[in-house]
Chain A
């Protein structure tokens, strides 16, 4: 089974990389972009029956830094 973990900076945390991407998109002529924030996608191939609690534990133990990041888990 597959899990997709999306890790993003918490709202309110400065994201200069997102702003740089925003500026680059503006420079390419794309209009109407209010904000850009960049995150990470971590894909996990897991043994069948792995629980969401276990994936959640992976997120809290390593995949996300709770000081500045939040995460979302989706199962495929």
Chain B
């Protein structure tokens, strides 16, 4: 599985994401600088990492979403290529219009940095095929602006179409419908606020995040 990790100025979880991808796929991912207007050929997965790109100036992910590379990422997504946005990457995906809704300041105003309980709400996406439907997992979060919001019509549509992939199983940030991660209507673009790449090794605290990447390898080769 050939993957790329996009690096924006201020991204700081790009190398963790690369480690997870290398560890699970056996193939070194390509690191792509945000000013590159083209992506490498033959990618199976494009990953947008966590961090504080552009210092979260204006709005988290707002300026990253308008970077030169994002034109190529949007094209790849529209061609059905798999795209994974983690934390700041999820924010970039909503700002780029690849996913609906927006991520706002956490309802409790705190930066939340701890392992949280998640429920796998949809185990039929390539990202979640190695989880069981309804399975509860623990994944770390580290964010200040993870409060997912969208209008009721959008939320109802996400629910009705099974596009809510992960839900918080405990109070974390006030997200509508406890949404932790969603996919687009074609199911090839996933955005989630938790950091699966931080929990891929039992020797380092747990491995509940590993199966997200294993599911992708199984689906994409």
A-to-B contact residues, CB < 8 Å: 13-14, 16-17, 20, 40, 61-63, 65, 67-68
Between A and B, 14 residue pairs with Cβ closer than 8 Å are A13-B104, A14-B147, A14-B149, A16-B106, A16-B107, A16-B108, A16-B109, A62-B63, A62-B66, A65-B102, A67-B100, A67-B101, A68-B104, A68-B149
Q: Which residue of A lies closest to B110 (CB)?
A: A16
Closest approach, in angstroms, between the C-beta of B69 and any C-beta of chain A? Answer: 17
Q: Which residue of B lies closest to A9 (CB)?
A: B104
- CB pair A13–B108 under 8 Å, yes or no, is no
Top 4 A-B pairs ranked by shortest CB distance?
Answer: A67-B102, A68-B102, A16-B109, A16-B107
Q: What is the size category of the interface that chain B forms with chain A?
A: 20 to 34
Closest approach, in angstroms, between the C-beta of B74 and any C-beta of chain A? Answer: 15
Q: Which residue of A lies closest to B95 (CB)?
A: A65
Q: How would you classify the secondary structure of chain B's contact residues: helix, strand, loop or mixed?
A: loop
Given A16-B105, A68-B102, 18 extra CB contacts under 8 A: A13-B104, A14-B104, A14-B147, A14-B174, A16-B106, A16-B108, A16-B109, A16-B174, A17-B105, A20-B109, A62-B63, A65-B62, A65-B95, A67-B100, A67-B102, A67-B150, A68-B104, A68-B149
- CB pair B58–A67 under 8 Å, yes or no, is no
Q: List, in ascending order, chain B residues with CB within 8 A of A68's CB.
A: 102, 104, 149
In whole angstroms, how far apart are the Cα atoms of A17 and B95 in the complex? 21
Q: List, in ascending order, chain B residues with CB within 8 A of A17's CB.
A: 105, 109
Q: Which residue of B lies closest to A64 (CB)?
A: B59
Q: List, in ascending order, chain B residues with CB within 8 A of A61's CB.
A: 66
